[in-house]
Amino acid sequence: MDVTRQRGELQGLLVLMGSLSHGLETVLGRGAATVTFRAGRTVGLKADVRERTTDVERALVLLGEELRAVGIVWPFELWKPEAAASFFYDKDGKQAAKLVFRNCMVRCSLFRYGHEQRQSLCLMNHGLFCGYLQKILGKRVGLEILHAGENACLKELVVHE
């Protein structure tokens, strides 16, 4: 299959994903975000992970590998202000870090469909991310969108003890 045809099929799928999430939000309203987050998280929690660790930085590397192993290309990286000594900081007694997501299929699908970010489709991905990371770390985690933009999203990861 040639690249042009593959791209056309992918773009069609992206529009379908945007349309489905928009329809879900219309039907369920505010509950759509909870439903999709939990669905993604459940998938992540049921995944067979090859390695577990309690080190958050190592766990993020493993998470990226696990996602790629199942065909999910969702690159992310730790981010900190230049003046900060570490990627990790204390947030209300919990370990936290900021992550940048530059190339995101969900963001692309929402732009293609013309639907806003920070809704159910984003939260399904967040649930998947959190479920996998919880499985690797053995600790509950949260992921909050601090900034959703055209070129990248900045999110805050919080690890719960």
Residue 76: phi and psi, rounded to 5, are -145, 160
Rounded to a whole number of angstroms, the CA Rg of the chain reads: 16
Average pLDDT, the chain: 81
Top-confidence residue, 117 or 141: 141
Of 133, 159, 119, residue with least CA distance to 35? 119
Given pLDDT bands bounded at 50, 70 and 90, which one contains residue 107?
A: low
- Give the span between the Cα atoms of 61 and 42, in whole angstroms: 21
**pLDDT on residue 47:** 93
Tokens of 98: 């900021």
Given pLDDT bands bounded at 50, 70 and 90, which one contains residue 127?
A: confident
**pLDDT on residue 117:** 57
Tokens of 43: 């998938």
- Give the span between the Cα atoms of 158 and 161, in whole angstroms: 10
Over the stretch 68-96, which tens digit does the pLDDT of each residue have?
898 878 889 999 999 999 999 999 999 99
- Give the span between the Cα atoms of 48 and 54, in whole angstroms: 17
